[in-house]
Amino acid sequence: MIRLDAAAAGFAQAFTALVDARRESSADVTRDVAAIVADVRQHGEAAVAELTLRLDRHDLAETGWGIEPATCAAAYDALEPGLRTALDLAAARIRAYHERQKPVDSDWRDEAGVRLGARWSAVDAAGLYVPGGRAAYPSSLLMNAIPAKVAGVRRLAMVTPTPDGQINPLVLAAAHLAGVDEVWRIGGAQAVAALAYGAGPIAPVDVVTGPGNAWVAEAKRQLYGVVGIDMVAGPSEIVVVADAANDPEWIAADLLSQAEHDTVTQSILFTDDAVFADAVAAAVERQLDTLATGTVARQAWEANGAIVTVASLAEAMPLVDRLAPEHLQLAVDDPDTLFARVRHAGSVFLGRHTPEAIGDYVAGPNHVLPTGRRARFASGLSVLDFMKRTSFLGLDETALAELGPATIALAEAEGLPAHARSVALRLRTNR
């Protein structure tokens, strides 16, 4: 774990190194994924079946490609009541939040008499990637499927790896609750390629969303353009800005809530109190020894964790912006003052009683967020990722007479005479 002091000599260089540290896929992953994508594009069903047998150790001819909706419904019905209530609460809050994101069509006529506007519509089909195996997250399924349904997507096809043919029943229950139309027993880069190109019983989709490992993220990157994607997601990250009035144990738990995801996740604390910084570091060490995920979390903390001491928390905010973190917690009494200074963050958690973990499950805002400093130019998953906007315009003779001469002048200046003629002919006819 790195300890930095903003007042120390060499801080600027050390912090720049922290900002620039890369934790994402290697050239080997890029090469391997390109081969898989090409294989699926050329051989379709056979390629997916062979890769599934080799990597997930089950034969699709025996286990079957799909999981029936009735199986998903049965998994939901079989949930322990408390867990089903929690899943229902999460789904309801996610749906309510995303309903408020739906865009409004526009249609008006301007002073020149031109009719202008835009109409929003959902994509026809969306593919959802849901991790399987050790990282089986029903919460991510809800976060991806519910915005798609709110947007009006007609067909939701979910892919999820089922190592040795096994699948997490909670994932099936979430698929039922979210209204997923198809569930396919495939994962990895080959599943993303199957969604993009189609393979066997799987028809192509228009958009692919959802988290996954480095191979899944790289497959989405390579297939962007064949399909739309939500984002190229890298390892998770959290930045916590906290003063000494916090309980060090709380802040340590917040930092480890991301460190336990993967060995390449990043957890960073900014504080204006060196004694508090020491207390949090000690609390992290104590908690690492008690976590079932402690081995993974320790590797992440020791390789990518950092505690940065600053003269004031206001001084921390430009540094936070440089990191543009996926998750930002402002654990202070007056978080709005600091929040007003934030320009780049995927999602912000305001106050001492708003741990990031709440946002992962039941708060409502989407937890699929930009990582790797992409919050400088990207936003979290939303209803808009499953929709597209079609602009329209309509002119009558009067409006064409108003705009036509300028159009002709610009077209001729650009050396495009057919553009100019298509307008000029109408103007002559109208005279």
**CATH code, domain carrying 417:** 1.20.5.1300
Asked if residue 225 is part of any domain, the answer here is: yes
The domain that holds 293 is classified in CATH as 3.40.50.1980
Q: Is residue 185 part of a domain?
A: yes
**Do 73 and 8 belong to one domain?**
no
Structure tokens of 212? 């996954």
| Structural domain contains residue 371 | no
Residue 407's domain comprises 395-430
353 tagged catalytic: no
Distances (CA, A) of 273 to 11, 241, 362, 412: 17, 11, 32, 66
What pLDDT score was predicted for residue 27? 77
66 and 175, same domain (yes or no): yes
Residues 260 and 299 both lie in one domain = yes
388 part of a folded domain: no
Q: Are residues 340 and 253 in the same domain?
A: yes
- Residue 382 included in any domain: no
| Helix and strand counts by DSSP (H, E) for the chain | 18, 14
Q: In terms of domains, do 240 and 114 share one?
A: no
127: left (phi over 0), alpha (psi -120 to 50) or beta: beta
- Binding site for Zn(2+): which residues? 258, 261, 360, 419
Boundary (domain end) residue, out of 207, 229, 251: 229
Q: Which long-range contacts (CB under 8 A, 24 or more apart) does 357-363 make?
A: 357/254, 357/257, 359/327, 360/139, 361/86, 361/90, 361/139, 362/86, 362/89, 362/90, 362/93, 363/93, 363/97
Q: Tell me, yes or no, whether 216 and 307 share the same domain.
A: no
Q: Do 357 and 423 reside in the same domain of the chain?
A: no
Which residues define the annotated binding site for substrate? Answer: 236, 258, 261, 327, 360, 414, 419
Residue 219 and residue 250 in one domain: no
Considering the domain boundaries, does residue 381 fall inside one?
A: no
Choose, from 182, 218, 260, 326, the residue flagged as catalytic.
326
Question: What does the pLDDT read at residue 67?
Answer: 95
Number of compact structural domains in the chain: 3
- 95 domain residue, yes or no: yes
**Do 128 and 16 belong to one domain?**
no
Within 8 A by CB and 6+ apart from 303, the residues are 263, 264
Choosing from 195, 229, 263, the residue where a domain stops is: 229
The values of phi and psi at residue 21, to 5°, are -60, 130
Tokens, residue 141: 């399924």
Q: How far apart (Å, rounded) are the C-alpha atoms in residues 365 and 51?
A: 35
88 and 63 assigned to the same domain: yes
User: Residue 168's pLDDT is what?
Assistant: 87
In a domain, 103, yes or no: yes
130 shares its domain with 218: yes
Q: What is the pLDDT along the chain (431 residues), one digit of tens a residue?
A: 899 999 999 999 999 999 998 766 677 999 999 999 999 999 999 999 999 999 999 999 999 999 999 999 999 999 999 999 999 999 999 999 999 999 999 999 999 999 999 999 999 999 999 987 656 789 999 999 999 999 999 999 999 999 998 888 999 999 999 999 999 999 999 999 999 999 999 999 999 999 888 899 999 999 999 999 998 888 899 999 999 999 999 999 999 999 999 899 999 999 999 999 999 999 999 999 999 999 999 999 999 999 999 999 999 999 999 999 999 999 999 999 999 999 999 999 999 999 999 999 999 999 999 999 999 999 999 999 999 999 999 999 999 999 999 999 999 999 999 999 999 999 987 65
The confidence score (pLDDT) of residue 428 equals 87
pTM: 0.93
Domain boundary pick from 315, 342, 363: 363
**Of 327, 344, 356, 367, which one is the catalytic site residue?**
327
**Residue numbering of the annotated binding site for NAD(+):** 129, 190, 213
Q: Tell me, what's the pLDDT at 26?
A: 75
Give phi and psi for 229, each to the nearest 5: -135, 160
275 and 355, same domain (yes or no): yes
DSSP strands (E only) in 92-215: 106-109, 115-122, 125-129, 155-159, 182-184, 207-209
